[in-house]
Amino acid sequence: MRNLLVFIALSSFGLLSCNNGNGTGEAAGTDSSTAHAAPAAAQSKLDETGTKNLMAVVSDYYQVKDALVASNAAKADAAANKLIASAGSMQATLDSVNGPALKPYLDTIVTESKAMTAMMDESCEKKRVNFDKISDAMYAMLKAADLKNAGVYHQFCPMAFNERGAYWLSNSAEIKNPYFGDKMLECGEVTDSLK
């Protein structure tokens, strides 16, 4: 019986020392910050430069979305101009393999962004119509580029445009509705993610 108690005590001590008190089961001396792999960088079927340019377009898109969430027409126009520039830069660097598949989406993004900036619309209601088209083109382009590890959330509001519904992209699963701003800020749901 005594040998059994000693065995149980030693076994328990061995298990505890492997746990190292951090709750992750890592061996003693292992730095928990390096034990887990770092989040992977965004990847796509484009080359490294193409993926970097794609993420610049996504980043500028988020600025347009955030301005519409805030119902700030001036910021929406400024962000749309940045989106036009980054989409144009991406178009200029597309290769012959991926260019034909992505160009129509980039054309839509540029055309609808220009239309957004051309209108006087302090309420942002008309700008949101263009943003809907930009959002659809963005999502289709990201799917065509096979974007992964980018933390992009495809979200949907069923109430937008007289209950026709509309999609947008976000870098957070938290809903911040660009179609209604603070009127219905949290109306919507995540339908897909490219993470």
The pLDDT tens digits for 158-172 are: 999 999 999 999 999
Contacts of 119 (CB under 8 A, 6+ apart): 126, 127
Decide: pTM greater than 0.85.
Answer: no
pLDDT recorded at residue 54: 96
pLDDT recorded at residue 5: 36
pLDDT recorded at residue 93: 87
CA distance 53 to 64: 17
Query: Quick check: 120 pLDDT over 50?
Result: yes
Domains of the chain as residue ranges with CATH? 48-194 (1.20.120)
> Where does the pLDDT of residue 95 fall: very low under 50, low under 70, confident under 90, or very high at 90 and above?
confident
CA distance 70 to 58: 19
Secondary structure element (H or E) that encloses residue 50, with its range: helix 48-69
Q: Count Cα atoms within 13 angstroms, Cβ side, for 6.
A: 3
Average of per-residue pLDDT values in the chain = 83
> Where does the pLDDT of residue 6 fall: very low under 50, low under 70, confident under 90, or very high at 90 and above?
very low
Q: What is the pLDDT of residues 80-93, one digit of tens each?
A: 999 999 999 999 98
Q: What is the pLDDT of residues 21-66, one digit of tens each?
A: 333 333 333 333 333 333 468 999 999 999 999 999 999 999 999 9
Q: Count Cα atoms within 13 angstroms, Cβ side, for 104.
A: 6
